[in-house]
Amino acid sequence: MKGASLRAFAIMTALGFSSGLPLALSGFTLRMWLSSAHLGLGVIGLTANIGLAYTLKFLWSPVFDEVKPLFLGRRRGWLLLVQGLLVACIVALGCSDPVAHVGWTLGVGAVLAFVSASQDILIDAWRIETFAPRAQGAALAAYVWGYRGAMLISGAGVIALSVKTGWHEAILLMAGLALAGPVATLMAAEPQVAREVAPARFGARFAQAVREPLVEFLARRGALVVVAFIVLFRLGEALAGVMLAPYYTFLGFDRAAIAVANGPVSLAAVLAGAAVGGFLVARLGVGRALLVTGVFQTLAMAMYPALGLFPGEPHMLVVTSALESFAEGVSDAAFLSYMSGLCHPEHTATQFALLSSLAPMALRTVGGLSGYMAAAMGFIPFFILSAFAAVPAMALMLVILRFYPPADRRVVVGAEIPG
């Protein structure tokens, strides 16, 4: 597609909505459901592991490039199949009973995460192949608005609705909204991309596509230090985030108050934080901005143990959620800029996919132990520990700034300008 039409941007927004809808359903919303059912903290903590598919999606992404469906083309054919499975998974989740069969509920959540991660791969591919380079920024903006809107609905929206309808009805309603994905796919045009027919076997092509970018990255000075930093950067947030739902319930906040705190105010805060983070990257350089924003996010996490001094106070809950969302947006802008700058121009897509898969590794692995830790320590000591868990990453950032400073580059349309 040479020119990007309003129709294409509208479809991009709808696909962003389809991408964002299942994320909360297998994350914070699911944990709220389990918390309201008074299940143990250990079980609730294990919900962090069911999203491991989002971290490992690069492993099966080549299948969508190499295998062409029998209908609708390579991108739309796979998308329609995956989106149909996504709707079925949401229905299965809404029909499950975590009190009677929590293993089944967690299993369905894991399958939902796998199908959702697969949809993300395909939507990214459709976007990159549909929009011209100059339109990619606008396409991403359309995607983000749809994505964040869907997360607001399947997160705060479902939690608020469940007060009146119950959890099953509220989640089943999301299955109806998920039909926006198949509708958008049917309205979309199949990207017209000329593909070379490679003589090598699929396995050999896949190995080469992954091996070369990986070898190039690991051959750099300080590569292992950088990898350790990326993995540890989200450790404190990973531990704390998984336990927020039961913590809020423990402090006596009802679902309506939690929905308000995680609703439009939180969304506005994270978008404002992203803008501030981008400004800091431009003024300070990506390395120093990352250090400053990381320290700010660590300090913002101190609001969680402080919240324990105001149990059941809704205004304090809103302030805590807004401040943490703002800090998340600030640090995300710097963190994504840092990872983008690590990518070699010849291997940008693969290296960014690999690095962005490492970033949530702490959440999808160690985060699963958070429930057992909180149960053993108590909530207040646990959240204090979570805040200090970010210290190792900050120490590694100081090492990187001293010995392996990142190249501060600002990418503009058609050029890369040294900072």
Whether the full predicted model's pTM is greater than 0.85, yes or no, is no
What's the token pair of residue 185?
């796919």
Distance of alpha carbon 382 from alpha carbon 42, whole angstroms: 14
3-state secondary structure of 5: coil
Domain boundaries, the chain: 1-191, 201-410
Distance of alpha carbon 304 from alpha carbon 295, whole angstroms: 16
What's the token pair of residue 382?
């646990």
Is the C-alpha dihedral spanning 285, 291, 294, 299 positive or negative? negative
Distance of alpha carbon 203 from alpha carbon 225, whole angstroms: 30
pLDDT by residue for the chain (419 residues), tens only, comes to 444 578 888 898 899 899 989 988 988 899 889 988 888 888 888 887 787 888 787 777 777 777 778 788 888 899 999 999 999 999 999 999 988 888 899 999 999 999 998 898 888 788 877 877 666 666 767 787 888 888 889 888 898 898 889 999 999 999 999 999 999 999 988 877 655 555 556 566 666 666 777 777 788 888 888 888 888 888 888 788 788 888 888 888 888 888 888 777 887 888 788 778 778 877 887 778 888 888 888 888 888 888 888 888 888 888 888 888 888 878 877 787 777 677 676 665 566 667 777 777 777 777 778 888 888 888 888 888 888 888 888 888 888 888 877 654 433 222 222 22
Distance of alpha carbon 386 from alpha carbon 238, whole angstroms: 8
Please report, as a single letter, which amino acid is at residue 181. G
| Ramachandran bin of 191, using left for φ above 0, alpha for ψ from -120 to 50, beta for the remaining angles | beta
What's the CATH code, domain 201-410? 1.20.1250.20
Whether 1-191 shares its CATH topology with 201-410 is answered yes
Stated as kind and residue range, the H or E segment containing 206 is helix 202-218
The DSSP output letter for 234 is T
What's the CATH code, domain 1-191? 1.20.1250.20
